[in-house]
Structure 1
Amino acid sequence: MDRPTFRREFLHPRHWPLWLGLGVLWLVVQLPYPTLLGLGRALGAVMYRVVGSRRAIAARNLELCFPALSAAERKRLLKENFASTGIAFFEMAMSWWWPKARLARLAHIEGIEHLKKAEAEGKGVILMAMHFTTLEIGAALLGQVQTIDGMYREHDNPVFDFVQRTGRERHNADATAIEREDVRAMLKVLRAGRAIWYAPDQDYGIKQSLFVPLFGIQAATVTATTKFARLGRALVLPFTQSRLADGSGYRLTIHPPLEDFPGESEEADCLRINQWVESEIRRQPEQYLWAHRRFKSRPEGEPKLYDKKK
């Protein structure tokens, strides 16, 4: 995709409320990092009370995935998850607007040698990530030290789309944004020996998915990771990030390439991916994006697991 450019139509009065909101957010994120963490937790508490539909989805996911926890334990985890989501709002703005040097002080990166080795050997890399609430800032911090292309879905609002893409792409002048449905472009990037961020942990429907267990529940899991690795002749490097409890920043971990991947079947690969996803979520469940209806698609004959949308 071409780089985002400012257009005169962005100044139309209908966009003024958004510009005002973005301006206020820019001012707020100039505050010290510990203050932003506190504001994020407060925002999360408000969201917990106001956003009832998403709270219900997250609560249902925790009930399905952690049945051994008591109702009180799941409620505490749910509140922590909303606190993490509130913090993510300010992390998004930090990644877009903080000076690069200020942002870089929060990064604790492990395993960058695996990316460097693949780059030196001219091998494409699928940086297999997950939808943690630290997704935005994690990608920004990694993008400061390594060229990473990303999958992208255009936002409906053109002003927000411009601000978002500009903020994301400023960390690496060589990075490209690839439309999520543009398979040909993704394969071209991988065959050129580049690295691309990709997260296979959401429910994208049954058309391109197989049902394999996740937390003991049959979950529609995309087979695209296998296809991209095979057709793009690429390595798959798991990538995780976490917000550190001591307030010192973020740990980004690039794990070694998956061995013998693709494997004997797409089903075996999907199962292997879900087992990895589950193990990483269990390490920090409060930081995962539980508000997504991960088990929305069901095998034929199985009942729906979520209440109907109101």
Structure 2
Amino acid sequence: MTRPGFKAALLHPRYWPMWLGLGLLWLIIQLPYRMLLLLGRVLGWLMYLFMRERREIARINLELCFPDWSAERRKTVLRENFASNGIALFEMAMAWWWPKQRLARLGRVEGLEHLQQAAAQGQGVVLMSAHFTTLEIGAALLGQKATIDGMYREHKNAAFDYVQRRGRERHNADAVAVEREDVRSMLKSLRKGRAIWYAPDQDYGRKASVFVPLFGVTAATVTATATFARLGKALVVPFTQTRLADGSGYLLRVHPPLEDFPSGDDETDARRINQWVEQEILQQPEQYMWVHRRFKTRPEGEPRPYPKRSRKRRKRRSAA
């Protein structure tokens, strides 16, 4: 996949609101990092107040996954989770636009030798991550230390799509963003000994999924991680990042490769992945992306736990 070039069509008036919003975001992130953390928390508070549908999804997810927690604890994590989502907007922009040296000062990496060893041996790597709110800045910081390709979903707004891809690919010279549906390109990259960021922790429907528990709740879990590892002859190397509570930056952890993976049994492998996801979420539950409908796909006869989408949202989705 070639890198995107700027096209004159992106100057069309229909893209002006997006360019204006991106320009404002660029100006805001020139502020000091700790001030951006504060502004992010304010934004998150506003999101908590006005994004009622997403707030309800996150509340339900926390209730399903942590029934033993007190209602007060779940509410505290829910509020902190929206603060983390607000901060994530500025982290995304920092990852795309901050000078590389300024950004690098915020990151500390543990376990980089696992990627270095795989690269030295020409071994492909499925860099298995999860949808934490820090995923954008975590991938950028790791991308300054190792060549990491990323899974990518084309955005319907061409101006945003251009900026997003440029931002994600800028941290090393030959990194590329691989379209999420382009399995052939992903396998080709893995067989060439490249590392590709991939997160298997969202609900992508019944296709190529199996039902296994996540925090004791039956969850449709993709089998693609094992498939990529097998067909791409690749290691599966877990990767996580954490926004540090003292405001000093981020701790990135590259974990040792999974042993005896894939096992040859899809349910066993998916269960193992979900157990890893559980383990990592418990380390930082407020930084996980709870606003996703993780349990929307249910076994036959089992109702969805989430309220129906609002009519306005359904109209927007059908128009797109």
Q: Secondary structure at the match of 1:151?
A: strand
Q: Is residue 2:164 matched to residue 1:164?
A: yes
TM-superposed CA distance for 1:186, in Å, is 0.8
Which position in structure 2 is the counterpart of 1:283? 283
Q: Is residue 2:196 matched to residue 1:192?
A: no
TM-superposed CA distance for 1:290, in Å, is 0.2
Number of positions where the alignment pairs a residue of Structure 1 with one of Structure 2: 310
TM-superposed CA distance for 1:264, in Å, is 4.1
Which position in structure 2 is the counterpart of 1:142? 142
Q: Secondary structure at the match of 1:259?
A: coil
TM-superposed CA distance for 1:82, in Å, is 0.1
Alignment of 1:88-127 (within 5 A): 88-127=88-127
Letter of the 2:3 counterpart: R
Letter of the 2:59 counterpart: A
Which position in structure 2 is the counterpart of 1:201? 201
Letter of the 2:14 counterpart: R
Structure 1 distance, partners of 2:151, 2:250, is: 22
Letter of the 1:177 counterpart: A
Which position in structure 2 is the counterpart of 1:68? 68
Structure 2 distance, partners of 1:193, 1:153, is: 23
Letter of the 2:67 counterpart: P
Letter of the 2:246 counterpart: D
Structure 2 distance, partners of 1:219, 1:279, is: 16
Unaligned runs of 5+ in 2: 311-320
State TM-score, norm by structure 1. 0.99
8 Å CA contact 2:190, 2:196 repeated in 1 = yes
Structure 1 distance, partners of 2:152, 2:296, is: 22
Alignment of 1:243-254 (within 5 A): 243-254=243-254
8 Å CA contact 2:168, 2:177 repeated in 1 = no
Structure 2 distance, partners of 1:268, 1:221, is: 11
Overall identity of the aligned pairs, in %: 71
Structure 2 distance, partners of 1:173, 1:159, is: 22
Letter of the 1:47 counterpart: M
Which position in structure 1 is the counterpart of 2:271? 271
Structure 2 distance, partners of 1:159, 1:303, is: 39
Q: Is residue 2:16 matched to residue 1:13?
A: no
TM-superposed CA distance for 1:52, in Å, is 0.6
Question: Alpha-carbon deviations, 1:142-164, whole Å to 9, x = none?
Answer: 11111001111110000000111
Question: Alpha-carbon deviations, 1:36-83, whole Å to 9, x = none?
Answer: 000000000000001111001000000101111122211111000000
TM-superposed CA distance for 1:183, in Å, is 1.0
Structure 2 distance, partners of 1:19, 1:93, is: 13
Q: Is residue 2:249 matched to residue 1:260?
A: no
Unaligned runs of 5+ in 1: none
Which position in structure 1 is the counterpart of 2:317? none
After the TM superposition, list the runs of 4 or more consecutive aligned residues in structure 1 that deviate by more than 2 angstroms: none
TM-superposed CA distance for 1:263, in Å, is 1.0
Which position in structure 2 is the counterpart of 1:129? 129
Q: Secondary structure at the match of 1:48?
A: helix
